[in-house]
Amino acid sequence: MNGDWLICGRDGRLGVYHPTSDAVVCRAERLPGGGWTDPRRVGGEQTLHPVLGVGQGADGYAHLVAWRPAAHGAAELMHSTHFRAHLAALDWVPIGHPNKQGPRTGTPAVAVDAQGRAHVFVRNGGGGVSMAVQKEQGGWGPWKDLKGSGVQDGLAAITGESGLVELYAAVPGGILHWRQEKPGGDPVRTEALETPVRPGTLYALATSPERTTLFYTDDSGTLSAWRPGDPPAALLPAASSGPVTAVRCTLDGHGCTLLAQRTANDRVAFAAYPTELESAGAWWAESGPRLAEDAVVSLATDEYGRTVAAALSPSTGRLLLTRRKDEPGLALEAWREV
């Protein structure tokens, strides 16, 4: 999966999305903070590949993008909008292929601008990045080639607090960055960072009105933070080889960034530090039971402003949750299966 698959909808209910072998399924709270629905298929009976990109707009709507199989080994990207996670989603709509036709080229990444338009990014057959954007009046614009070379899978798409869309991509020996210069404009390449980045470890977070922060792991196993325009800052050793997830929160009156990552011994580790102040340092603290081999971790903020962490096993559908207690520091409730 690519994107924040644990989301809080506009009605305050938490929802989770994940792919199965031939579909995308969703579960949601029946009421904010209450019990959960059973897993159900999203967008009708469309057969899909087990690849999913998720984005959420300021309106709380979830935008889902997946590949569907076509004849002779080809594939096509599909989009569905989910207005409320406990209700039915819209049917899947085709948005085409970045190279007009062919097999899957990469895992899609989704960001939603201030006008509620989904931007879908995917690595194309030439090793660059292509983008398709929803039209305001419905439908999709043509695929556009944003260029790039040697782009690796695991794009990180993000909408900043300004409402402008940004994209990060790992390439051999570095990271590329694209940013919209104005609402409705195409993202343009800015600077590139030379760093020995590990593919599949990128995660982006809006951290101030004008800037986003990219978290990534380098070849030495160090988790670093980068804001274009500044040099990267080493934060702490990564808890494992996979990506982190992050969310903004307030701890003891201070605005902080909370990180979570699956550990090498299959638990969840948390670390927090003052937002955009990596020099303050951060330390991992492990939590919860051992996870399934394929479990992934996500963070969100619920209807009541509490930080929520989830661990999900796509193969079994097992979902574990914990919430932050109403206490000083980062005290968490006991993990529970829902």
HSE-up of residue 199 (Cα within 13 Å, Cβ side)? 9
The fraction of the chain above a pLDDT of 90, given in percent, is: 92
Give the integer Cα–Cα distance in Å for 199 and 151: 9
Tell me phi and psi for residue 319, to 5 degrees: -120, 125
Residue of 55, 8, 50 lying closest to 204 (CA atoms):
55
Would 161 be classed as within a structural domain?
yes
Structural domain boundaries enclosing 170: 6-337
Overall number of domains in the chain: 1
- Residues in a beta bridge with 156: 168
Would 16 be classed as within a structural domain?
yes
Tell me phi and psi for residue 87, to 5 degrees: -110, 175
Would 224 be classed as within a structural domain?
yes
- Quick one: pLDDT at residue 138? 82
Average pLDDT over residues 151-160: 97
Would 245 be classed as within a structural domain?
yes
- Quick one: pLDDT at residue 88? 87
Tokens linked to 114: 């201030």
List own/partner pairs for 180-183 with CB under 8 A and 24 or more apart: 180/113, 183/113, 183/114, 183/115
Chain segment 294-311, per-residue pLDDT in tens:
999 999 999 999 999 999
- Residues in a beta bridge with 79: 65, 93
Q: Inform me whether the pLDDT recorded for 242 exceeds 90.
A: no
Would 1 be classed as within a structural domain?
no
Give the integer Cα–Cα distance in Å for 150 and 220: 21
Give the integer Cα–Cα distance in Å for 94 and 107: 16
CATH code of the domain covering residue 112: 2.120.10.10
Average pLDDT over residues 130-159: 95
